[in-house]
Amino acid sequence: SMRAYYFDNLPGDQRAPHDYVPSRPVDASALAKMNVLSWHIPVEGYESQVDAIARERGYKNRDTINVSKEGMGEVYEAKIKGFFEEHMHEDEEIRYILSGSGFFDVRETPSDAWIRIAVAPGDLLVLPAGIYHRFTLDETDAIKALRLFQDEPKWVPHARSQATDVNVHRVGYLQAIG
Ligand code: KMT
Ligand code: NI
């Protein structure tokens, strides 16, 4: 399963690992309690297994995103900055990594600590609606991923604020994790 650990909160490049020394690992069961789901499906021949999960979970649409200077052109810097601003969505954020690597940071509750999840090819990660999170490339500077969604693609990031703290999807998330 994918490696997860507490983010060290030290200033510096967001693309650096930011792993404590010694590392403070977070295991899959802790992520599961936060309703963060993950699978590993080898990229070679991934289609049938990803299709099966998509069918079970009602992910009817998908597209591919290429986060790299070459893949994004003029909007690259703005996108990178936006991905790393703490936010939530009113829908799940579902990503299957095709190539490259990066970090999803998710807020633990109630500590409000950042947990960093390192994703690599074959990782399928589902962040629940309402969880506060952000994304960054790592030092390899490129990732390609499938983005799956239940209905129409909707990418609205809601920056964390007093309003999102009482958003019905946020409150629903907190209730769901108890
Ligand atoms: C997002 O919404 O943060 C992204 O799509 C990041 C790139 S996908 C690994
Ligand atoms: Ni997001």
CB 112 within 8 A of CB 24: no
Q: Going residue by residue through the chain (178 aa), what tens digit of pLDDT does each one get? A: 799 999 999 999 999 999 999 999 999 999 999 999 999 999 999 999 999 999 999 999 999 999 999 999 999 999 999 999 999 999 999 999 999 999 999 999 999 999 999 999 999 999 999 999 999 999 999 999 999 999 887 779 999 999 999 999 999 999 999 9
d(CA 97, CA 78): 22
3-177: CATH topology:
Jelly Rolls (2.60.120)
- ipTM for the complex shown: 0.96
Measured in Å, residue 53 CA sits from the centre of ligand 1 at 19
Domain chopping of the chain, boundaries: 3-177
Tokens of 4: 């997860």
Nearest CA to ligand 1 atom 1: 83
- Atom number of ligand 1 nearest to Cα 65: 8
What residues contact 112, with CB distance under 8 A and at least 6 apart? none
What residues contact 171, with CB distance under 8 A and at least 6 apart? 130
Residues, CB within 5 angstroms of ligand 2 (ion): 93
State if residue 114 touches ligand 1 by the CB under 6 angstroms criterion: no
